[in-house]
Amino acid sequence: MFSMICSSCTDMIKKWELLTVESGSAEIDVWPYIDNLAGDVISRTAFGSCYEEGQRIFRIQKEQIDLMTQRLLTIHLPGGRFVLCFCIVSEIHTLIGFKCRFIPTRANRKFNENNNTQRALLMSIIDKRKKAMAMGEGINDDLLGILLKSNIKEIEEDGVGMSMEDVIEECKLFYVAGSETTSNLIVWTMVCLSLDQEWQTKARDEIMQVFGNQEIHFEGLKHLNIVTMILNEVLRLYPPGSMVTRATHKETQLGDMMIPSGVHISIPIMHVHHDPKLWGEDATLFKPERFLEGIMGATKGKGSGCFLPFSGGPRVCIGQNFAMIEAKTAIAKILQRFSFEFSPSYKHSPFPSFTLPPQFGVHLILHADGLSP
């Protein structure tokens, strides 16, 4: 899938080159481009030859998230503020459980219309892929192909597998888990490197040492130690998910507490990542050097459980390696071609919703300093 990631990054870089070609620099809100980049990558890697349909699904999914937020903000129930807060920190299915979704508001009607369109698109893609695989023509090197191949094997071995509805829901999840989180990581990395020009220079020097002006290659990514330190520090300061919830299915010992079965526990990742007791008095500062000796070194012997950008344990994010490869590739390609700094119109606006996007965009001045590979 690496070649697909590179293709999407190159397309974005070319758009920025066109904007800077006349004067060598330009003020750009990079957030929409990076957001579209992540959607483009997941469309290519999830659906392969059905890439164009995948882009339509991405656009609908983005609109659905906006509509869900509107629906949250228009709940008029006793204790509405409590309901709203509870919804935001709970997972998406909590929202869907509210009866208010049946009220025929404009947002609800559009949400249901989008849901039907999205479902029809996904069913068409899945049906075509199933038929191709049955005839021996299936391509199994994208996420949908891998998912269907695994499902067929499970049905053959155990007699039970995922239903069509299960597969559809997994395809939707590709976008929420594989797009929003990665775009957040890339854009906040550009923000932090705009804030600290010294680390931007260090990262660019390392990228030029590994790749020069040549195309980014997969094997070279493992040598980007400084870039990895920077990405880890950005993930600490701006975790893609500010909170996760977990539930106990049996009586569980947690430190000196015994948690009964059926208890829902909220883990405030943002607070853990900014806790001075865990990270030191400089916990709110951007200091990639804290990861010089890896995650265990950064937490000063307190264990990897202090660093939870992709959650942890048996339910750790299955896409964390994918996200890091995409982020490294994007940052490497950007720094090969551009240096950047804050625009006077930049407003720092992390907005915790389902992820942590910048509410007012990210306005930077891009300077075309490098040479295109």
Tens of pLDDT, residue by residue over 292-331, are 998 888 887 777 789 999 988 888 887 889 999 999 999 9
* CB-CB contact of 278 with 302 (8 Å): yes
pLDDT for position 72 = 64
pLDDT computed for residue 284 by the predictor = 95
Q: What is the pLDDT of residues 22-34, one digit of tens each?
A: 999 999 999 999 9
Nearest in space to 336 (alpha carbons), one of 5, 14, 2:
14
CATH class, range 2-241+309-367:
mainly alpha
Average pLDDT, the chain: 85
Phi, psi of 354 (to 5 degrees): -80, -30
C-alpha 163/C-alpha 145 separation (Å) is 15
Rounded mean pLDDT, 239-256: 89
How much is the pLDDT for 9?
Answer: 95
Q: Within 10 Å of residue 334's Cβ, how many Cβ atoms?
A: 26
CB 346 within 8 A of CB 363: yes
Domain boundaries defined on the chain: 2-241+309-367
Confidence of residue 281 (pLDDT cuts 50, 70, 90): very high
pLDDT at 351: 84
Lowest mean pLDDT among 99-103, 114-118, 149-153: 99-103
- pLDDT value at position 138? 62
Which structure tokens are listed for 273?
């990542």
Joined tokens for residue 307:
């660093």
Question: Of the ranges 53-67, 160-174, 223-237, which is most confident?
Answer: 223-237
Q: Residue 229's pLDDT band (boundaries 50, 70, 90)?
A: very high
CB of 248 within 8 A of CB of 263?
Answer: yes
User: Which span out of 42-51, 53-62, 331-340 was modeled with the highest average pLDDT?
Assistant: 331-340
Nearest CA to 31 out of 372, 370, 360 is that of 360
pLDDT digits (tens, 9 = 90+) for 346-371: 999 998 777 888 999 999 999 997 54
pLDDT band at 372 (very low <50, low <70, confident <90, very high): very low
Task: Give the model's pLDDT for residue 87.
Answer: 44
C-beta separation of 53 from 47 below 8 A: yes
Q: What are phi and psi of 363, to 5 degrees?
A: -90, 115
Angle, helices 143-158/164-175, rounded to nearest 10 degrees: 150
pLDDT at 13: 96
pLDDT single digits (tens) 335-346: 999 999 999 999
Is the per-residue pLDDT at 199 higher than 90?
A: yes
- pLDDT bin (cut points 50, 70, 90) of residue 104 is low
pTM: 0.85
Question: Which tens digit of pLDDT belongs to each residue from 252-270?
Answer: 998 899 999 999 999 999 9
Nearest Cα to Cα of residue 50 among 168, 136, 144: 144
Q: What is the pLDDT of residue 260?
A: 96
The whole-angstrom separation of Cα 270 and Cα 290 is 17
Nearest in space to 191 (alpha carbons), one of 254, 238, 243, 259: 238
pLDDT higher for 183 or 181?
183
